[in-house]
């Protein structure tokens, strides 16, 4: 049974035999760095944002780092075809925070009715049409969409974001779109998974 840690706003779910917190939650966005409260590796989830923090320091000197967050979205054939003009939201905007991509995984299951046309696919900041938003990773070749029947997996690592204007990424969601032209015809489905952290 969960219990509260007096004066901290922390709800404790699990602790060590010595009484150090292993898992817990907060709602006020502040995790204390007081000595002798948390085990090394303790995980605290901020229920107001859904972000989990890990104590990468010691019991004497806690140091809180965000755990990787992951979001998966299934895409229909209709969405794959329309995402050139109507990008599909993958990760909703987090007010006051920038979503920094750690990885993008794309799994597509193509059928005998192949997709045609289209251009390179990318996960981007904002819902800018035609894949013209600020890129988060290298693009995925259009041939990944238009290939033969079967299921394939594609992984992308993030591009380097350097000196990017705060207003162009803070409080802005991530969307998937493609450049050049819309995909046409075709059936099949895909799942895109974005691993990310917030700053």
Examine the domain organization and report whether 56 and 82 are in the same domain: no
Residues 136 and 60 reside in one and the same domain: no
Rounded to an integer, the average pLDDT of 41-45 is 90
155 and 85 within one domain: yes
Mean pLDDT, the chain, rounded, equals 92
Which residues lie across from 156 on neighbouring strands?
Answer: 104
85 with 17, same domain? no
Which domain does 38 fall in, by range? Answer: 3-66
Report whether pLDDT(167) > 70: yes
Same domain for 182 and 113: yes
For residues 140 and 9, which has the higher predicted lDDT (pLDDT)? Answer: 140
- Yes or no: say if 159 and 41 are a contact pair by the CB < 8 Å rule: no
Whether residues 52 and 97 share a domain: the answer is no
Q: What is the pLDDT, as a whole number, of residue 197? A: 83
CA dihedral 9, 14, 20, 25 (to 10 degrees): -30
Residue at a domain's end among 34, 66, 98? 66
Verify that 149 and 174 share a domain, yes or no: yes
Q: Which of 40, 66, 92 is the last residue of a domain?
A: 66
Q: What percent of the chain has pLDDT over 90?
A: 71
* Nearest alpha carbon to residue 50 among 21, 92, 105, 104: 92
CA gap 26, 41 in Å, rounded: 16
Same-domain pairing of 23 and 54: yes
**Domain co-membership, 9 together with 55:** yes
Determine the pLDDT at residue 68: 78
**C-alpha atoms less than 13 angstroms from C-alpha of 107 in its C-beta half-sphere:** 7
Mean pLDDT of 126-144: 96
The number of residues in the chain equals 199
- Give the tens place of pLDDT for each residue, 66-112: 887 889 999 999 999 999 999 999 999 988 888 999 999 999 999 99
Residues 62 and 43 placed together within one structural domain of the fold: yes
Q: What is the CA radius of gyration of the chain?
A: 21
Full-model pTM: 0.75
pLDDT digits (tens, 9 = 90+) for 101-127: 999 999 999 999 999 999 999 999 999
Asked whether residue 77 falls in the same domain as residue 53, the answer is no
- Residues 6 or more apart whose CB falls under 8 angstroms from that of 18 comprise none
Model confidence band, residue 1 (pLDDT cutoffs 50, 70, 90): low
Q: How many structural domains is the chain composed of?
A: 2
**Cα–Cα dist 158/197, whole Å:** 12
Which pLDDT value is given to residue 149? 97
Q: Tell me, what's the pLDDT at 52?
A: 86
- My answer on whether 125 and 33 are in the same domain is no
Q: What is the mean pLDDT of residues 29-36?
A: 87
Domain endpoint, select from 27, 51, 66: 66
Could you tell me the two tokens for 24? 């817990």
């Amino acid at each position: 049974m969960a219990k509260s840690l007096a004066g901290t706003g922390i709800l404790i779910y699990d602790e060590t035999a010595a009484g150090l917190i292993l898992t817990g939650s907060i709602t006020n966005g502040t995790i204390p760095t007081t000595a002798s409260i948390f085990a090394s590796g303790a995980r605290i989830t901020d229920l107001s944002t859904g972000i989990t923090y890990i104590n990468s320091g010691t019991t004497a000197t806690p140091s809180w780092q965000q755990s990787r967050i992951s979001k998966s979205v299934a895409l229909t054939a209709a969405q794959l075809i329309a995402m050139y003009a109507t990008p599909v939201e993958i990760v909703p905007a987090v007010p006051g925070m920038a979503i920094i991509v750690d990885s993008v995984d794309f799994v597509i299951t193509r059928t005998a009715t192949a997709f045609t046309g289209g251009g390179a696919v990318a996960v981007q900041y904002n819902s800018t049409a035609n894949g013209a938003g600020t890129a988060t990773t290298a693009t995925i070749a259009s041939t990944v969409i238009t290939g033969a029947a079967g299921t394939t997996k594609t992984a992308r690592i993030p591009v380097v974001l350097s000196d990017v204007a705060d207003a162009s990424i803070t409080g802005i969601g991530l969307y998937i779109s493609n450049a050049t032209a819309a995909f046409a015809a075709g059936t099949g489905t895909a799942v895109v998974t974005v691993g990310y952290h917030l700053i």
